[in-house]
Amino acid sequence: ETGVTQTPRHLVMGMTNKKSLKCEQHLGHNAMYWYKQSAKKPLELMFVYSLEERVENNSVPSRFSPECPNSSHLFLHLHTLQPEDSALYLCASSQESSREQYFGPGTRLTVT
């Protein structure tokens, strides 16, 4: 595997479910990011992890809970989501000192 991978690619969940999104990067980077992409809105930064420490939580509701167990893996734990949380969730990675971020293919999330 190369680049940034995300699983699952598609997820449908009810509002009472608990699920997790997974991201893995094979680029040797040490910073990872979660973005939300909704229709007709710019990409919104949700969380930033640099050197495995969270350095940014962009006023994201607590029903989204990130986890970064090591520099190659990033998770987004989801629980009691709302229909308006339906979106494409993108993971990205970079070197901590670099401005260039590389994205995974995203997880298309639908909350019913």
Contact set with other proteins (CB under 8 A)? 4, 6, 31, 40-43, 45, 48, 50, 55-56, 90, 92, 94, 96-106, 108
d(CA 106, CA 43): 12
Identify which of residues 15 and 73 has a Cβ nearer to other proteins in the complex. 73
CB of 80 to other proteins, least distance (A): 26
CB of 108 to other proteins, least distance (A): 8
What's phi and psi for 84, nearest 5 deg? -70, -5
Identify which of residues 49 and 64 has a Cβ nearer to other proteins in the complex. 49
Nearest to 74 by CA among 101, 97, 98: 101
CB of 17 to other proteins, least distance (A): 23
Cβ–Cβ < 8 Å for 20, 34: no
CB of 52 to other proteins, least distance (A): 13
Cβ–Cβ < 8 Å for 74, 32: yes
Pairing status of strand 4-7 against strand 18-25: antiparallel
Identify which of residues 71 and 101 has a Cβ nearer to other proteins in the complex. 101
